[in-house]
Amino acid sequence: MQTDSSFTFVLFGGTGDLSMRKILPALFEAHRAGGMLADSGKIVAVARHATDRGEYIQWVNEHVKPHVSKNGVDEAAWASFLERIEFVNIDLGKAEDFVHLRDAIQDLPGIRVFYLATGPSLFVPICHALASVGLNANSRIVLEKPLGYDLKSSNAINDAVGEIFAEEQIYRIDHYLGKEPVQNLLALRFGNALFEPLWRREWVESIQITIAEELGVEARGDFYDNTGALRDMVQNHLLQLLSIVAMEPPHSMDSDSVRDEKLRVLRALKPIDPRDIGKVAVRGQYHSGVIRGTAVPAYATEPGVKPESATETFVALKVEIENWRWAGVPFFLRTGKRLADRVAEIVVNFRAVPHSALGASALRAGANRLVIRLQPNETIRLYCLAKQPGEGMNLASVHLDLAFDQFFREGQMEAYQRLLLDVINGRLALFVRRDEQEAAWRWVEPILNEWKASNKPPKPYASGTWGPAASSAMLAQHGTCWLEEEN
C-alpha cells in the first residue's frame, strides 16, 4: 500500500490510552514500513497533559515506545518517526484556543485529518471549534465509538457533526473492519467460486459470531457501568461483522457499493418482539472466579461500578435475517467480559449431508464448518470429515488451515494501521456510514428498552466460564452448541 499523499494528522487526545496503545504505534508501523506515509506527512498531537513538544516527545518515548514493534524497535526508524511529530497544547473546551491550532498547522502540507480520540461529549464542541477557525474545509474527521447512547443521542451527534462536515468527510471507525481475517472473508467469498454457491440457507445450518474477553472492565468501570455490553460491543462490532458475513456480493469494492450491501442486511434484521426477548436474548454479569489461576473480583466490586448495578457484561442473541438468502438460518451472537478465553471468531456451520452410506457420524450438523478467527491468532480453518486409518469406515474431523503468519512471509498489517492509511488516502469502504449506524441502533433499542423496563437483573456467571447457562440452552433449542475450542 504505497502512497504519495501528503497529510497533516491532528490527534486530539494525544496523551490518551487509545493514542498510546493503538494510534501512534499504528502510525509508526506505517512509517517504519517505508513508502506507506508520504515523507512530508506530519502528526500533530493535541493535549493538555504536556506543556511543549519536548515534554510530549518524552511522554511518547516513555509510554508509546513499549507498544510498538513486537520484534523490537528500529531505533533509526523511531528517531525519524519522532521528527514527524509536532505538539499543540490547547484546552479542548475553549473554542478560542483553536486559533493556536490553526496557526500551528496552516502552513503544513496535504490533506488534514482530525482524529477525535476523546470522549464522545467532546465530539460536537471540537467540531464547532474547528469550524470557527475554518479548519473544517477540505479535511477529514475520524470519530471513535461510542457514538451516542441510543438512537436519539447518536442522531444528535451525527446531526451536529453533519452540519460542519459532509458525510464523505466523516470516518466512523470500527477497528474490527480493519482486521486481516475480515478482509480475507471478503476475498474468500467474492474471489473464489468454491464458497459463494454454498453461502446461503440451503447449505448453511447456523452461524456464530463471538467476541470474548478474559479482561474485566479494568479502569473503565465508571464508563462501562453506564454503557454495558449491548451498547459497547453488539450495536457496533458484532452487527458490523454480521453484515459482512451476510451481505450480497457488491458490484465493486468501492466505498458505497460495500456499505450499501451491509445496510441491506441491517435493514433486513428481523425485529425482536418485546414478548420474545427472553427467548432470544441472554444477558449476564460476571461474578468472582478464577482466570488462568488468578482469582478475579465480581463486576459489582470493580472500581467505579455501583454495588447494585444491573449492567450486563455478557450478551448472547439469536438473530434472523428476513431475506431470500438467509431465511430460516439463525445467527448467534455472543460477547462478554471475564470469559474463559480471549477469542474473536466467526463460525459457519454447514448442514449435514441429506443421506449417508458412511454411518451416522456423517449426518451430524456442523461436521463441515468454516472458522474465521480474528484473535488472538488470525486464521481461517475449514473442517470436514475424513476416514480414520485402519479397518472399517470410521470418520473423524480434520481441517485445512490457513495460518496467515506462516503462509505470507511479510508481516500482517494491524487493523488500526490499515484504517489510518485508508483515512489518509480517502478510502471509506471500511468505515461506518450514518445510515448503517442508525439501522443498527433501531434494531438494538427494543432490547435495551425491554431490559430497562423489566427490572430483571442479569444472569450471574462465574468469571473464567463461558457465561450464563441460558446462553448454551438457547443454542440447544436449535440442536447446536457454541464452538469452544482451545487456542
How do 459-462 and 281-287 pair as beta strands?
Answer: parallel
* Per-residue confidence band for 1, with pLDDT thresholds at 50, 70 and 90: very low
For CATH 3.30.360.10, list the domain ranges present in the chain: 177-410+435-476
pLDDT in tens, 360-404: 766 665 689 999 998 888 888 899 888 888 877 778 888 888 776
Q: Exactly one of 67, 237, 399, 478 is catalytic; which is it?
A: 237
Nearest to 186 by CA among 196, 176, 172: 196
Residues 392 and 80: their CA atoms lie apart, in Å, by 65
> Going by C-beta distance under 8 Å and a sequence separation of 6 or more, which residues neighbour residue 228?
311, 312, 313
C-alpha cell of residue 242:
454480521
Question: Contact, 298 vs 308, CB < 8 A?
Answer: no
- Report the percentage of the chain scoring pLDDT > 70: 96
pTM summary value: 0.92
For CATH 3.40.50.720, list the domain ranges present in the chain: 7-144
Fold of 177-410+435-476: Dihydrodipicolinate Reductase; domain 2 (3.30.360)
Residue 454: CA atoms inside 13 Å, Cβ hemisphere, count? Answer: 16
Q: Does residue 3 surpass a pLDDT of 80?
A: no
Region 7-144: CATH code: 3.40.50.720
pLDDT in tens, 422-477: 999 999 999 999 999 999 999 999 999 999 998 889 999 999 999 999 999 999 99
pLDDT of 308 reads 92
Question: Contact, 285 vs 459, CB < 8 A?
Answer: yes
**Of the listed ranges 231-235, 264-268, 384-388, the one predicted with least confidence:** 384-388
Across the range 92-121, mean pLDDT stands at 92
Question: Contact, 366 vs 349, CB < 8 A?
Answer: yes
Please say if 478 is a catalytic residue: no
pLDDT of 49 reads 79
DSSP 281-294: EEEEEEESEEETTE
Higher pLDDT residue, 281 or 410?
281
C-alpha cell of residue 162:
453533519
pLDDT of 239 reads 97
